[in-house]
Amino acid sequence: MNRLSYLIILFVILNSCNHSITFFPELVYNAESKTIDELKIIYNEVPINKDTNIKMFVKRMDKIVEDKKLTDLCITATSTFQVFVDEKGNVESIFKIYGSHPKYDSSAVEKLKVAKFRPLKLKNKETKYSCIVAFSFFNGIPDYPYINGVPLKKSENSLVSARTDGIYELYEVNEPPILLKGELFKFPTVLKNNPRNNFYEYRKVEFIVNENGRVEQVNFIGTFQPEIKNEINTRLKTWYFNPALKEGKPVKVNITMFSHTY
């Protein structure tokens, strides 16, 4: 199952839920060591926060850093959790909805335990709530956490809700960038015929399309063969876009491109 399928599932879950919890997956963490039966009673009327504007209620959540134990597994998978937040914005309980590899799941749970959320107010009173958090791994390489189907932004050492870099995600702009011209990738034939590459392998390339429609800050996530990395860099320099628009003004926008070894 690919990443898009997981996000579609998340949105189906969110849109099919009413204001009370109707399912209880596997309990993987509770700050007060309560049993699942006790939590069913406590969470019976806890609202599900379905907001996709993550800047409104996520204060801080650290990204899972690359670790040899994870990358050596080389598995593409997603671990999805239902997280319950207390009245002060601390993570109180974590339920696993969809698990992947145990090492991936445990790494995700450790980050969720120390995540910080903004308190939710209903009728001027702070209350507990829950949301859906997913951690994706592409060939063992950790991706950003997704909150209610939306990726968190990155900073130097953690993913936070506040924006300081002036770079937007696609879901935040009114008009996405449109590619006007640019050279297509032409990968050397020797790489296509290399027996080493007889399997489908995800890699990610991130880059910024700036206010002038040009590509900058190309970032390769994962291990690329030098020939492929050079080819992508060379062709991206020729790409020219109509820039993204935010409230009618050109802005920088982050683009993620998925690739595979050829």
pLDDT tens-digit series, residues 193-243: 554 444 344 567 888 899 999 999 888 876 777 888 888 888 898 999 999
pLDDT (mean) for 95-115: 90
For the chain, give every domain's residue range. Answer: 3-164, 170-260
Instruction: Report which of 133, 144, 74 is spatially closest to residue 103, judged by C-alpha positions.
Output: 74
Q: Is the pTM of this model over 0.75?
A: no
- Grade residue 108 by pLDDT with cuts at 50, 70 and 90: very high
pLDDT per residue as tens digits for the range 15-28? 433 333 344 578 99
Number of residues that make up the chain: 262
Q: Cα(55)–Cα(51) distance, rounded to whole angstroms?
A: 10
Strands 26-30 and 159-160: unpaired
pLDDT per residue as tens digits for the range 157-185? 344 433 446 788 776 778 888 888 888 87
pLDDT per residue as tens digits for the range 55-104? 667 777 877 877 888 888 878 888 889 999 999 999 999 999 888 888 99
Instruction: Report which of 235, 125, 234 is spatially closest to residue 184, judged by C-alpha positions.
Output: 235
Instruction: Report which of 111, 62, 110, 58 is spatially closest to residue 89, judged by C-alpha positions.
Output: 58
Q: CATH number of 170-260: 3.40.47.10, 3.30.2420.10, 1.10.1200.10, 3.40.50.300? A: 3.30.2420.10
